[in-house]
Structure 1
Amino acid sequence: MTLESIDRHHQEMLNNGDAWRRKPALRAIYKTFHQAIARHLAPLPLPTVELGSGVADIQQVIPGCIRTDIFPNPWIDQVENAYALSFDSGSLANLVLFDVFHHLRYPGTALQEFDRALAPGGRVILFEPCVSLLGRLVYGVLHPEPLALHQPIQWHAPPTWNPAQIDYYAAQGNASRLFLNANRAPNLAGFRVVATQRYAAIAYVASGGYSKPQLYPTAWLPLMTAIDRLCDHLPQLFATRLLVVLEKPA
């Protein structure tokens, strides 16, 4: 990990923490996202782990969820590398990746590690940007990270690659490319896709997220939520968020 990557992450977390504290609408929206994730958890008597935990506190909805990141932060429980988890084989019920999958340069290599750590019947739950007509605008024009829709996805790391060599990578369109097009679905290391769900999440987009100004008064959040429910019926046009559930065979 380069010093530049560490500095970038540290500054991003500082900025995100400030936005999280001053935006009650953002906190409420994240709670609904976490509730959507919680509905798909595998009901196994084993730990659930979130990889790449940002400042949003998933433990408010999923008590006991182990929060992790590749960098130490005051709000996480332990440092973890998605490509080389410290957990014993077959010891986890769920792995939650919120806006993390599109940062995995070698997603197939990461899934092999997830398969090792999860118990039979365990699940990987991804919550990612979604590429619809609106999603292309939001993530292709208004977001600094690339969609990379036409860039090849390198599924596996080279044989000589070391997990400690992870560097910054972003391709926001990867989940949509892989899981919303049956012709592109790769070998998922034994996992099967048990659910995909697209959300308009316009309330989130218009909240400005962590880095942009909020475009509506917080008191309008119920109205924005109602608009989202309507727009959810036209995901090709309006979806900006994608939930994907992968399950390890029992």
Structure 2
Amino acid sequence: MFLPSTYFPTHEENRFANEGDVGRAREFFLKHRPRNLEFLLRKRYEWMNAYIQPGQRVVEFGAGSGLSKEFIRHDNFRLTDVEPRPWVDDVADAMDPPQADGSIDVAVFSHMIHHLPNPVRFFEGIQRKLAPGGLILIQELNTCFLLRLALRAMRHEGWSYDVDVFDPDVVANDPRDPWSANCAIPQLLFRDEAEFRRRLPGLTIERNELNECFVFLVSGGVVVQAKTVELPEFALKAIDAADRLLVGLLPSVFAMGRSIVLRKAANA
């Protein structure tokens, strides 16, 4: 199958039902706690606990269904989203955060970077809101070959490698549509660490780990739910082990996820 450098399906082409219905997704997860999906979400969030200290001010932007609070254990963890929802603590646009400069110790972003209209302006803004030495914890997509095949098959979200994500004037997504998605953004940002440091010198990359493949596919999805067979824990762990092997051997084919830790300079 030919995979172009740019591919954006329309909302009408999407083969998933309930696109963007985070309320339904939240209700479904909390009611049923499907094993495959819970296993995936544990992997996406629980690693972040090691980077969060007691007493720190922790904010998630673009919280969506708000399921991060099921896995990130912290008393001062606030959820924000651009749309008001019952489980959201503060309504905030990640491109123009209302928090005071230097007021956040840890900023959390899960699968929202690929929705940004302008990535470099976003990071410059979040950097100002972080306290000196503050952290940005990111869990994101990585557009490996298999993920692009899946996106093309389901026509759920698209990608474009034909944008300079470090250009402050670039339009990487439709700024009028919070669900506009360019899934190539995380890969374009983090595949060349030296380039990232050169373009955003106030942030240091402390972790940049590729992960996830079939454990993502068998989950059924977070916001949209595809039909899947619920697997026992031992089978999910076996799939996870196979994923680690495959991602290590052929990341360009199998790595569907990426975990990133960025630190603001202590003297900034």
TM bin (shorter chain): 0.7 to 0.9
User: What per-residue deviation string (whole Å, max 9, x for no partner) do you get for residues 66-107 of structure 1?
Assistant: 111001111111111112222221111111110111111111
Residue of structure 1 aligned with 2:87, choices 75, 87, 96: 75
Work out the CA distance in 1 between the residues paired with 2:53 and 2:27: 34
Q: Equivalences for 1:201-212 in 2 at 5 Å?
A: 201-210=213-222, 211-212=224-225
Residue of structure 1 aligned with 2:61, choices 46, 51, 67: 51
Mark the CA change 1:214 to 1:189 in structure 2 (over 3 Å): closer, same or farther.
farther
Q: Which residue in the other structure is 2:158 paired with?
A: 146
User: What per-residue deviation string (whole Å, max 9, x for no partner) do you get for residues 149-188 of structure 1?
Assistant: 2244373259xxxxxx942232111110121135753612
Mark the CA change 1:245 to 1:141 in structure 2 (over 3 Å): closer, same or farther.
farther
Q: Equivalences for 1:22-37 in 2 at 5 Å?
A: 22=32, 23-37=34-48
CA deviation after TM superposition for structure 1 residue 130, in Å = 0.6
Identify unmatched segments of 5+ residues in structure 2: 1-10, 12-17
Work out the CA distance in 2 between the residues paired with 1:189 and 1:109: 13
1:137 paired with 2:149, answer yes
Residue of structure 2 aligned with 1:123, choices 110, 135, 140: 135
Query: Aligned to 1:128, what secondary structure does the other structure show?
Result: strand
Mark the CA change 1:116 to 1:183 in structure 2 (over 3 Å): closer, same or farther.
closer
Query: Aligned to 1:16, what secondary structure does the other structure show?
Result: helix
Flag the structure with more relative contact order, 1 or 2, with Cα contacts below 8 A and sequence separation at least 6: 2
Q: Kindly indicate whether the alpha-carbon contact (under 8 Å) linking 1:42 and 1:122 is maintained by their aligned counterparts in 2.
A: no
Work out the CA distance in 2 between the residues paired with 1:206 and 1:75: 27
CA deviation after TM superposition for structure 1 residue 34, in Å = 0.4
Mark the CA change 1:98 to 1:11 in structure 2 (over 3 Å): closer, same or farther.
closer
Identical counterparts, % of pairs: 22
1:167 paired with 2:176, answer yes
CA deviation after TM superposition for structure 1 residue 190, in Å = 1.5
Mark the CA change 1:10 to 1:241 in structure 2 (over 3 Å): closer, same or farther.
closer
How many aligned residue pairs are there?
A: 236
Q: Which residue in the other structure is 1:247 paired with?
A: 263
User: How does the TM-score come out when normalised to structure 2?
Assistant: 0.77
CA deviation after TM superposition for structure 1 residue 42, in Å = 5.4
Residue of structure 1 aligned with 2:26, choices 13, 17, 22: 17
AA in 1 matched with 2:86: P
Q: Kindly indicate whether the alpha-carbon contact (under 8 Å) linking 1:112 and 1:189 is maintained by their aligned counterparts in 2.
A: no
